[in-house]
Structure 1
Amino acid sequence: MSTYLTKRLIYMVLILIGASMLIFFLYALTPGDFVSGNLKMSAERKAELRDLYGLNKPVFERYLIWMKNALHGDFGYSLAQQKPVLTLFNEYIWNSFLLAIVSTFLTWVIAVVIGVISAYKQYSWFDTIVMIFIFAAMSIPSFFIGLFLIKTLAVDLKWLPPGGMMTTGSNATGWAYVKEVIHHMTLPVVVMTLLGVGSLTRYFRSNMIDVIQQDYIRTARAKGLTERTVLFRHALRNALLPAITLVGFELPGLFGGSIIIEKIFNWPGIGQLYMQSFGSRDYPLLMGFTMFIAVLTVIGTLISDILYHLADPRVKL
């Protein structure tokens, strides 16, 4: 295990170096930036800022400076937001994490339960309805579902707020604050769950269909075990093994998968800030967030490989 981890850590470092170069040069070589695109600044002020932030230096030298600072926890300064990039991360990323962790939990629970039942009742009316719902959820764009629910539940029925994280002017604290946040996050969580549960349910259904046809499942039934015990203790445990590989992609998805949803519902998360940065060409923030997603991706891949080995010792690292 130690030898494997050492090799993987070396590979991760090399991958992140390559990713950092790709990310930096992609943004650095893109025409324009926040300084040159700001029409309110004078030419003298633009020249002063470019000299102050090193924008007039050679690209490779700028990359080395950026990497040196990043290794010390400094991903630059956002000129558009007038704050350090890490400060902005700390202000917005936890809102995105709250939204994503709740929707991910609900997505996996619903997908596992429906996938198991649908596989057990294959070709039944329940399975047919589930498959129709799955393909509908996978084919409808996220912005359409979001706007439709806003029109129906927020505008027409007035059951839920149309967006935001808090009511405008609210000074709620304690339990009242928690209730208000839950009330506002209901719609985006519902949309994110609907978008994710379709493909994941189909994945669990196909795995369960393969597993319940195995000989050891027939043996478990022959021993007189209840059908619930056979499905959820024996079949589901083995059907979940291939899904462990998905865990590695869930980690970066917690922060990068809700960009459009945050924009639709005006949720103050890192995804909406990321989208705003494109319009202002705030490259330090864009590079910092993209690099953050790259780090989470390689860490998530390592975690999924280790979990797969722990869940099935027959798999060699």
Structure 2
Amino acid sequence: MINYIIRRIGYGLLILVGVNILTFILFFAVNTPDDMARMNIGGKRVTQDAIDKWKVERGYDKPLLWNDGAQGSQKLTNTIFFERSVPLFVLEFGSSDTGRDIGYELKKRVGPSIALAIPTFLLGIFVVVVFSLTLVFFKNTYLEFWGVALSVFLLSISGLFYIIVGQFFFSKLLKLVPISGFSGGGDIFLFLALPVLIGIVSRLGGEALFYRTMFLEEVGKDYVRTARSKGLSETVVLFRHVLRNALLPILTSTVAVLPLLFLGALIMESFFGIPGLGSFTIDAINGQDFAVVRSMVFVGSLLYIIGLILTDISYTIADPRIRLS
């Protein structure tokens, strides 16, 4: 197990290095430091002196990857890549192109993102699993037919539609919850109730169809027939035996959601005015703040790799037959 985890961490570090280098090349292949200076300073008539001053203040006056004018190891270290991208591996994010401390912004915004993402994630899994098992329980009935039809209908609708309709119906007409904003303390439930509900509904259709297919495959196996022959009720068979044996694909399908626990739903946070990491990323994209975007890409990659490692480890808990050497 320990050797396996060490190998996976090593692979993850190699992937992070590749993502970091690729992201850096893509960003600076599209925009030169001069272009970035013009976009951040603003205005059509920007003098070269103003551009040079902006680059010096933010460290963009150095070569990108190799400094021919430096001596020794400074040929590598005295570059934009080493000063702006390498520190990400020790979680030092530096300053944004607008002068803000990225690390401070991440610490300030991670709380609202977690407050939104964790209830959406956990309640979403619970609702989807129960709904899917209910469809399997009422197999070959009108309830299953209309449940599948509802899932296909929900799958066909854009998540943006749910947000607009939810804000109009629950906030503007019924006035049950605020239309947008965020507050700590007891009021947090009012501000997060609608985003969490929309997050659950928007993922219900596609995941319910996937889980239903997976559960139907499990129902046809020998251990299910054996459990039924022992006189166990259908509810016990489904929620104890079938669900337990389907944990591996469920764990695999939920790995991609892990980065959202911290990065947040980009569109959701923007529309509801939640000051989380998702809205921070959207604001950086709109403001052409490449330092923030690169940092968020790195954080997302890091979280996804951690999710893969945790999933592999959880396999041994969900299925004792699996042994990692």
Alignment partner, residue 250 of structure 1: 257
Matched AA of 2:166:
L
Distance apart, 1:22 and its partner CA: 1.1
The 1-side partners of 2:146 and 2:264 are apart by 27
Alignment partner, residue 55 of structure 1: 60
Distance apart, 1:257 and its partner CA: 5.3
Alignment partner, residue 42 of structure 2: 39
List gaps (5 residues or longer) in structure 1.
167-176
The 2-side partners of 1:67 and 1:263 are apart by 27
Alignment partner, residue 259 of structure 1: 266
The 2-side partners of 1:89 and 1:28 are apart by 24
Pair 79,67 (structure 1): closer, same or farther in 2 beyond 3 Å = closer
The 1-side partners of 2:81 and 2:120 are apart by 37
Alignment partner, residue 174 of structure 1: none
Distance apart, 1:103 and its partner CA: 0.7
List gaps (5 residues or longer) in structure 2.
66-78
Alignment partner, residue 277 of structure 1: 284
Q: Answer whether contact 2:116 2:264 (CA < 8 A) is retained.
A: no
- Corresponding position: 1:221 with 2:228: yes
Distance apart, 1:3 and its partner CA: 2.1
Distance apart, 1:55 and its partner CA: 1.1
Distance apart, 1:133 and its partner CA: 1.8
Q: Answer whether contact 2:58 2:97 (CA < 8 A) is retained.
A: no
Q: Secondary structure at the match of 2:180?
A: coil
Q: Secondary structure at the match of 1:286?
A: helix
Q: Deviations over 1:19-55 (max 9, x none)?
A: 1111122222222655321226764343222013221
Higher RCO structure, 1 or 2 (CA under 8 Å, sep 6+): 1
* Large movers: runs of 4+ above 6 Å: none
Alignment partner, residue 74 of structure 2: none
Q: Answer whether contact 2:137 2:234 (CA < 8 A) is retained.
A: no
Q: How many residues matched? A: 306
Alignment partner, residue 126 of structure 1: 143
Identity within the alignment, %? 27
Alignment partner, residue 64 of structure 1: 82
Matched AA of 1:260:
I
Alignment partner, residue 106 of structure 1: 123
For the aligned residue pairs, the C-alpha RMSD in angstroms reads 1.9
Q: Deviations over 1:245-269 (max 9, x none)?
A: 1232221132345101111112211
Q: Deviations over 1:108-161 (max 9, x none)?
A: 111111111101212322212221221122211111111111111111221211
Q: Secondary structure at the match of 2:30?
A: coil
Q: Answer whether contact 1:89 1:270 (CA < 8 A) is retained.
A: yes
After TM superposition, the score normalised by the length of structure 2 is 0.88
Alignment partner, residue 181 of structure 2: 164
The 1-side partners of 2:119 and 2:93 are apart by 29
Q: Write the mapping of 1:1-317 to structure 2, written as runs, cut at 5 A.
A: 1-31=1-31, 34-37=36-39, 38-39=41-42, 43-60=48-65, 61-80=79-98, 82-166=99-183, 177-256=184-263, 258-317=265-324
Q: Which range moves more in the overlay, 94-103 or 222-231?
A: 222-231
After TM superposition, the score normalised by the length of structure 1 is 0.90
The 2-side partners of 1:42 and 1:188 are apart by 45
The 2-side partners of 1:59 and 1:262 are apart by 34
Distance apart, 1:90 and its partner CA: 0.8
Pair 244,185 (structure 1): closer, same or farther in 2 beyond 3 Å = same
